[in-house]
Structure 1
Amino acid sequence: MHLNGTCFGALLLILLQGLQLVEAENLLQASGLTQCSGSNSHQVTVNNFKAIFTPSNNSISIDFDGFSEVAGDVFIDVDLLVYGYKALTKTFDPCSLDLSVFCPMKAIELEIPTISQTLGDKVVSQIPSVAYTIPDIDAVIRLRLKYKNGGQQITCLETRITNGKSVYQSGVAWALAVITGLGLVTSTVISLLGHSNTAVHLAFRSLAFLGFIQAQAMVGMTSVRMPPFVQAWTQNMQWSLGIVRSNALQTIATWFQRATGGTPSSIMLASRTMSLVLQKRSGVLHRRAAEKGRQIILRGIERVGIRDSIEVSNIFMTGYLFFYFVTTIVIICVGIFLLIRKVLAKKQTAYPKLNSAIGVAADWKMILRNTFFRLACIGYPQMCILCLWELTRRDSAAEVVLAITMWLVTTAVLAFAAFKVFQRALRSKQQHNTAAYTLYSDPATLNQWGFLYIYYRAPVYFFLVPSMVYTIVKGMVIAFAQPSPVAQSIVLLILELIMMLATAIIKPFMSKAANVVAITATVITTLNTIFLLVFSDVFDQPDLMTGILGVIFFILNAVFTLILLIYLLVGMFYAIFSKTPDTKYRPLADDRNSFRWSRTPATTELSSLEKIARGEEDTEGHSYPPRVATAPPSDEDVSMAARRPYNDVVDPSLPLFPTNTSYERVRPLS
């Protein structure tokens, strides 16, 4: 965040000869000059610095103002680094630029209006065409100001050059969001049609895709200085954590903050007269930089918000309101579903199971409650980060209260759900010698709490607790460790290693394919934290290594995201277009199916229960536990079987419209 008049000469030389190895697409631009890593000299201070080269007319314009405490004859060393590789090194004398104000340097305030100059064809021809096509190229120009006499270095400044091209595209973010939503909705519809196995697998694919997207978004929210490729790619995923630009949301957030005694930030407005630097290796975040007359340096969560044109003071409220917006949309959809269900209840469809489900008297209170449980589960990573981060910002007293309340409520809701799962699992173990009996055969348990454990193997239902603890701790680290990028990256690495080992050793998910996907995702997420640790400069590695790792990070995550996307789309294709989608999946490799209700009338269901009690095999060849390990069917079991609304349990996976489980309102089987 510093510069001196020599900047002009540096930038000229830089964008003259250095640009040849840079990237661009119809333009090359630079904004902001910051101290180099390891440099603490403040003899040259910059308020604003912008430079733009337009190849269409061979013109370059430079605009900057700042203050110089340097007096005497100086020369400047200019280095151009592309992905850390030093592509150009040149030393020049400011006097050669015929600028008397810099020859010699004087301790004065520098307020120079926009300077424009036309470059010769010879200089422009040295810029390769690839410089205008590669998005988010990692090109840095480094200026070292030295005294002529003795060569003592005065200060070191650097700026990053871009060409306006980026892998961050709003269309990409929208496409990912729509596909994820379609996957969840499709799993719900398929579940209602009676294809329970398909619904479970499709919901897992959707949540695996969403979870990996959220993991990448969390990387972008860390305060570590990251290469342009990493910043831009992770920005595509920020919608999954509630960072969504909307004029309406911004207006509401600003109004609410003012109404509750807060003072909205004005960084977006200050950017017209000051440089915004969205990345830096070290240093303290300047929240009041505009008041101090310095460049505004942002990183972490604040950097993510500004890249989406969201004021820093509105980031929390944007995520908060977005969560409620999604909740409102889902509730409206639930209401529409209930209306359609009421109309269709008087008619017959081509799906017997759907007819049974439609015929059940809907308890709208239960449906809304279960919907809120599922939304809290999906939005919990977002709330963990933004709510806890708001405690460090304190934009207004009311926003702090909202943050605390939201985090406590969502945590309590999920903790209560986990408690109910463990309570019923322990009871099932006592009565039937296995947790799977109640967790997978009792519709009340399955419909209300199944979203937490349905994807795990029956014996490993408890893995939901480590998953919740992992989310809470990760949210705390990202929210509270923003001022300490090195400590943040170290703790995240330890956390991801623990989660990776637990997933790889326990293999908690329902099938081999699901475990392969989950383990691969945790491995890549762990590698991402290793990259973060390197980006934090804790190893003092060469710039070339940082540049190469940035490209590897992008390629690795982009490829796996594409694989997960195809994995999800294939599952949706089978679910929609296959007449018997359940045949595409092998039976789950645990004992949950052993306790499913029979597909025959009530008398046959009672017979199956008797076989279970005797330890006999059913017609499908499943072996059941011996009588000593399994309690005989009780009167409650017999009564429940006789009143079951449909013959097979409908696994909801993650239904936004869960089926009714109030047996007193269920019509008896005909």
Structure 2
Amino acid sequence: MRFHSTYSNMLATSLLLASLPIGVLGGDILKTNGFSMCSDNSDITVQQLNIEFNRATKKIDFDVAGTSAKSQNVTATMIVTAYGKQVYTKEFNPCDTNNFVAQLCPVPAGSFSAQGSQDIPDSYVSQIPSIAFSVPDLDGQATLQLKSLDDGQTLACITSTVNNGKSFDVPAVTYVAAGIAGAALLLSGLSALGAGGHAGTATSSPTFGEVIGWFQTMAANGMLSVQYPGIYRSFTRNFAFSGGLIYWEGMQTSIDNFRKSTGGNLTDDSVAYLKNATLIYDNSAANITKRGLDSFMLFARDTLSTNVNSTAANNGTADNKVMHVVHGIQGYVEQLSIPQANTFMTVLLIFAIVIAAITVGILLFKVILETWALFGSFPKSLTSFRKRYWWLLAKTITNLILLLYGVWTLYCVYQFTNGDSWAAKLLAGITLAMFTAILAFFTWKIWQIAHKFKKMEGDSTALYDRKEIWRKYSLFYENYKKSYWWIFVPSIVYMFAKNCVIAGGDGHGLAQTIGQLIIESLMFVLLVWSRPYSLKSGNWINIIIQIVRVLSVVCILVFVEELGVAQSTKTITGLILVVMQSVLTAVLAILIAVNAIIICCRDNPHRKKRKEAEKNLNRDLDTLTPLDARNSLLMDPTEYKRTSVRGPMVSAAPLGTRGGYDPVPLSEQQTGYVGGARRFGGAEGQEHLLSDAASFGGRSASHERSFSHERTESPAGRAPRLPDVDLGAPGPYRGGGY
């Protein structure tokens, strides 16, 4: 059957758009990879199968070995499929002259092996599309059937996956993704450092949290219990690190020992077991599972060449591998060589290692600062860290909990339903309850503060304007508008609900996918309705990320087994998913680079605003006029501009300040100076003081005459003057005190 040309064209076009590197392990060659039995009660047991097609030579080379219960003539049928399409089939008799295979003519009783090659006609080679030799993670299958020549009864059926040596599962993709996440983390740190602790400052998108959240989404997309094409399954595996799934053999062995001592069963769920197993996914093992062949033995490809009845020695070694059927979360984690029962403990230990590294780093920096303080003076900007390093550690841990809360919920719920160690289940329950309590406490505290200030001041802008509040709680709402500070609450609920659906619905792909689609759509509606981010770039980037999330779940619907979509369509959809998610990842990386350039090139916006405010104030003071309301007679503009600390507009002691307002000069009689010498007492001074004090109690006739006389003076003579008080005696006016 000819592979549909439309599918080939679409695959070729999509491959041109793929932006991530592909590991190339071969040329125009298709090979089998492991094998399994596809028949019951076989008279012939196969122990080795190796089939290779070389397009350049147009030959199929095969190497098969096994045992037979009796000697018999057989016919062999070779069937090759790609993406669910049968692209090659050939039946031959090993005893024919053109296809003679001495080891199979007839099949002897006991052990046997057969090696040979078959020429493939051009008519069949042309039916295999060129895309099959270049597309990564080829979904192909080769089947070899041996039938009795006498009655046509099937004696043996062996099937194997076919690959072309190309895959999206390469370390380079993981390293690139980790580099993007690291760059986002560094950029977020530089933004916070540039803000200088300024309250109300938002971080430019994409932030570290947004990048990690996107990587976790791609990893979670590969955990659903659906029939993924190999190309998408390999692609999602590259982002497992974002959720804490990092393979370390020593750690896995320790977890196995821990589980064994706490009620775990290591028979078919351990590192040693996975080393000796071949993973069979749902889409290639559904029929095998129905036949109840889960316990059949598999054997990897090797150089075994056993003659009839084992008369010749082995030229190689054969590694027995068991067939291990997997799906969903189990299939995702075990392709990383992590046993499914070790999933939660792996993430817990990775989390503990990260926390330990952060703690050691902060304490080491603290020691450096203390040593610096003993031998010199360090910048004032580091004084805050020196005083609050424990608080910084607590804030960092809280931020890490917020980043991992979604996937932590997934692993804990999965541990409850699939774990076998009571201690691991207990740790999952304690940590999930603790993380939920921490986030609930901060939510309640922020809500309480917002409600308090809204009641007192009419709004909750104090969450952004007050530095102490901002320093403590801003990690939850720093990028949101002041009127949408509460958006972090539905965001936490969104992470919790999404991952509960994935873990709780494991094994039910349709329910998982529909639940995911509903949750992602609700989050999309919330973002479009509120547009809560304070920066326009934040709104656009997060809305686009959410759109891709929704479209990804729609594409995953194609992989649901109940819908019965053709395998070729699934492969095309998987490739579209890879391209779509790769393009978004590349766009985030470009935006991170652009933000980094902007931060390095532009001035600090807060420092710039502060300088502009000072410049405007000095300009206003320079342009004051006598009639300007700001031109107070009790303020010296020159002195005000010269001082670094702004004092009150009205002087506390206007009459005695240097450079201030100088009242009308006093007469010698009033000041108590005679000929430049001050009178410090005497009868005259005392009498003058008593007379003036007495005049405060009432107005004498002479005083009235004096007052009326003053009113008749010309305007030039009406200058400000002090009361008629003798300032020579001790008092509050001139020198001396009580």
Contact 1:214 1:238 in 2 (8 A): yes
| Separation in structure 1 between the aligned mates of residue 565 and residue 280 of structure 2, nearest angstrom | 22
Give the AA of the match of 2:363. G
Aligned to 2:161, what secondary structure does the other structure show? strand
**Contact 2:221/2:236 (8 A) holds in 1:** yes
1:339 alignment partner in structure 2: 367
In structure 2, distance between residues paired with 1:90 and 1:247: 42
Counterpart among 455, 475, 483 of residue 459 in structure 1: 483
Segments of structure 1 that go 5 or more residues without pairing to the other structure are: 1-20, 350-354, 588-596, 605-670
Distance in 1 of aligned mates of 2:519 and 2:581: 19
- Any idea what the Cα deviations from partners look like across 1:558-615, whole Å, max 9, x if unmatched? 111111111112222332x225154999x9xxxxxxxxx99989xx9xxxxxxxxxxx
Write the deviation string for residues 96-130 of structure 1: whole angstroms up to 9, x where unpaired.
Answer: 76689999999x9xx97765434559889978886
Instruction: Provide, for residues 433-453 of structure 1, a one-character-per-residue CA deviation record: whole Å limited to 9, x for no partner.
Output: 212x22112233222221111
Alignment partner of 2:32: what SS? strand
Whether the aligned pair in 1 keeps the contact of 2:75 and 2:91 (CA below 8 Å) is: no
**C-alpha spacing 1:360/1:136, structure 2 compared with 1 (3 Å):** closer
- The residue type paired with residue 517 of structure 1 is I
Give per-residue Cα distances to partners, 1:358-412, cap 9 Å, x unaligned. 3565133322222221111112122111111111222311111111111111111
Q: Which amino acid aligns with 2:177?
A: L
Length-normalised TM-score, structure 2: 0.64
Report which stretch shifted further, 124-133 or 155-164: 124-133
Q: Quick one: distance in 1 between partners of 2:103 and 2:117?
A: 21
Contact in 2 for aligned 1:385/1:478 (Cα 8 Å): yes
Work out the CA distance in 1 between the residues paired with 2:396 and 2:552: 33
Alignment of 1:98-109 (within 5 A): none
Question: What's the CA shift for 1:270?
Answer: 4.8
Report the counterpart of residue 259 of structure 1 in structure 2: 261
Give 5+ residue unaligned stretches, structure 2. 1-11, 13-23, 298-321, 618-738
* 1:276 corresponds to which of 274, 279, 285: 279
Q: Work out the CA distance in 1 between the residues paired with 2:247 and 2:223.
A: 16
Secondary structure in 2 matching 1:201: coil
Structure 1 residue 390 corresponds to structure 2 residue 390: no
Deviation (angstroms), 1:92:
2.4
Tell me if structure 2 keeps the 8 A contact 1:29–1:50.
no
Contact conserved, 1:74 with 1:104, CA < 8 A, in 2? no
Deviation at 1:204, TM superposition (A): 4.5
**Residue in structure 1 matched with residue 442 of structure 2 by the alignment:** 417
Residue 217 of structure 1, CA deviation: 0.4
Of residues 90-99 and 229-238 in structure 1, the stretch that sits farther from structure 2 once superposed is 90-99
Q: Could you tell me how far 1:313 is from its partner in structure 2?
A: 3.2
CA change 1:441–1:116 in 2 (3 A) is farther
- 1:200 aligns to what SS in structure 2? coil
1:151-209: per-residue Cα shift (whole Å, max 9, x none)?
A: 99999986431123212222321332243134224422442343559973247432222
Over the matched positions of the two proteins, sequence identity in percent amounts to: 22
Cα distance between partner residues in 1 of 2:206 and 2:554: 27
TM-score with structure 1 length normalisation?
A: 0.70
CA contact under 8 A between 1:48 and 1:275: conserved in structure 2? no
1:297, CA displacement in angstroms?
Answer: 1.0
Once residues 473 and 121 of structure 1 are traced to their aligned partners in structure 2, the CA distance between those partners, rounded to angstroms, is 54
TM-aligned CA deviation for residue 553 of structure 1: 0.8
Change (3 A) 1:93 1:380: same
Residues 470 and 194 of structure 1, relative CA distance in 2, 3 Å threshold: closer
| 3-state SS, counterpart of residue 314 of structure 1 | helix
Helix, strand or coil at the partner of 1:347: coil
Specify the SS of the correspondent of 1:135: coil
Letter in 2 for 1:396: S
> Is 493-502 or 302-311 further displaced after alignment?
302-311
Secondary structure, in 3 states, of the residue corresponding to 1:28? strand
**More displaced 10-residue stretch of structure 1: 340-349 or 495-504:** 340-349
Q: Which residue of 1 aligns with 2:87?
A: 88
Higher relative contact order (CA 8 A, sep 6+): 1
In structure 1, give the amino acid aligned to 2:87. Answer: L
Q: How does 1:40-439 map to 2 (within 5 A)?
A: 51=50, 53=52, 60-62=61-63, 78-81=79-82, 83-84=83-84, 86=85, 88-90=87-89, 92=91, 115-118=114-117, 132-141=133-142, 159-194=160-195, 200-202=202-204, 204-264=206-266, 265=268, 269-270=272-273, 275-280=278-283, 283=286, 295-342=323-370, 347=377, 349=379, 355-359=380-384, 362-435=387-460, 437-439=461-463
Alignment match, 1:541? 565
Correspondence list, 1:527-538, <5 A: 527-538=551-562
Aligned length: 552
Write out per-residue CA displacement over residues 205-227 of structure 1, whole angstroms, 9 at most, x where no aligned residue: 32222111110000112221211
Structure of higher CA gyration radius: 2
**What pairs up with 1:504-543 in 2 under 5 angstroms?**
504-543=528-567
> For the residues of structure 1 that align with 2:86 and 2:175, how far apart are their CA atoms?
37
The verdict on how the C-alpha distance between 1:136 and 1:176 changes in structure 2, with shifts beyond 3 A counting, is same
Partner amino acid, structure 2, of 1:280:
N
Q: Is the 8 A contact 1:257 1:263 kept in 2?
A: yes
Q: Which residue identity does 2:189 align to in structure 1? A: T
Secondary structure of residue in 2 paired with 1:280: helix
Q: 2:26 is paired with a residue of what secondary structure?
A: coil
The answer to whether the 8 Å contact 1:280/1:299 transfers is: no
Asked if the contact 1:190/1:198 (under 8 Å) is kept, the reply is no
Question: Offset at 1:356?
Answer: 3.9
8 Å CA contact 2:30, 2:52 repeated in 1: yes
Check conservation: 2:256, 2:271, Cα contact below 8 A. no
Question: CA 1:134–1:557 in structure 2 vs 1: closer, same or farther (change >3 Å)?
Answer: same
